[in-house]
A = this chain, B = another copy of it.
């Protein structure tokens, strides 16, 4: 880049604060690695070849990417850090929507272990905001931490083609009494576990959260083959389910269980993108005929 901008090896060496010979060696090594000549050397400087002209913008991209990467962990950074629970749940879509609406706003997305670590990360400023379900009233949040209910995610039943309820157009939670619902993954001790405990207790079915999370594919395989097991998924427009499993998505009604997502942030965080995110999300409009855990009412 320096040689292309300066037009001369020697002048580039000045700006890089190394010797002309070192520049020569760098360019030679780069050309050797790429297998392409980047400059035509003349007695009055260096001119980009066609390959050089093609390569130059990519080289600039590379340095820009490096700069962004370093800035992402530098204190005093500007990108908004958001904690999103689960990549296949509604908050991931909310963040994508926000990114689509504000493409110039830099976002860094992370996923923390549970709500407690998320809240303390917000408190210390490690992250700027967190999508979580609050399992206690908002006034019991630490001082200076604010929260707003931003999305109620309706749940659907996901079954295999041989499941007893596979043919149903809709199912009520009461109909699930006695059924086995399988939620794999390490949710023990998190707010998800609290949600499922309440849900199962309210309607008399058992939710099994045992077993490690081997990823989404084995889960789907197991569900597809089993006449007894089913699982819950969020009503998502974006998620593309792998075809070929014969899976059924069955709406839940009377009432529809919804998972209450809140956004949590530090009240004194001045980040402009945080204000934009809150404005973009608004607050949830609660719909009738839904069920939420008692701690969310």
CB contacts (< 8 Å) of A263 on chain B: these are none
CB contacts (< 8 Å) of A111 on chain B: these are 53
Known: A35-B74, A74-B35. A58 touches B69 (CB 8 A): yes
CB contacts (< 8 Å) of A81 on chain B: these are 50, 54
A51 CB-CB contact with B under 8 Å: yes
With an 8 Å Cβ cutoff, the count of chain A residues facing the other chain is 33
A61 touches which of B35, B57, B65 (Cβ 8 Å): B65
A66 CB-CB contact with B under 8 Å: yes
A112 CB-CB contact with B under 8 Å: yes
Contact, CB under 8 Å: A36 / B73? yes
A288 CB-CB contact with B under 8 Å: no
CB contacts (< 8 Å) of A112 on chain B: these are 50
A62 CB-CB contact with B under 8 Å: yes
Task: Bits for A47-59, please: 1 = Cβ < 8 Å to B, else 0.
Answer: 0001101110111
A292 CB-CB contact with B under 8 Å: no
Contact, CB under 8 Å: A55 / B34? no
Which residues of A62-89 have CB atoms within 8 Å of chain B's CB atoms? 62, 65-66, 68-70, 72-75, 79, 81
CB distance from A73 to the nearest CB of B (A): 4
Complex Cα–Cα for A65 and B62 (A): 6
CB contacts (< 8 Å) of A210 on chain B: these are none
Complex Cα–Cα for A72 and B50 (A): 11
Contact, CB under 8 Å: B73 / A34? yes
CB distance from A137 to the nearest CB of B (A): 27
CB contacts (< 8 Å) of A28 on chain B: these are none
Seen from chain A, the residues whose Cβ lies within 8 Å of a Cβ on chain B are: 34-36, 38, 50-51, 53-55, 57-59, 61-62, 65-66, 68-70, 72-75, 79, 81, 108-112, 121, 126-127
**What 8 A-B pairs come out closest when comparing CB atoms?**
A58-B69, A36-B73, A53-B110, A54-B108, A51-B73, A65-B65, A62-B65, A58-B72
**9 more A-B residue pairs beyond the given contacts A50-B121, A54-B79, A59-B69, with a C-beta to C-beta distance below 8 A:** A34-B73, A35-B73, A36-B73, A54-B72, A57-B108, A57-B109, A58-B69, A58-B72, A62-B65
Q: 23 A–B contact pairs at CB < 8 A?
A: A34-B70, A34-B73, A34-B74, A35-B73, A35-B74, A35-B75, A36-B74, A50-B81, A50-B110, A50-B112, A50-B127, A54-B72, A54-B73, A54-B79, A54-B110, A55-B72, A57-B109, A58-B65, A58-B69, A58-B72, A61-B65, A62-B65, A65-B65
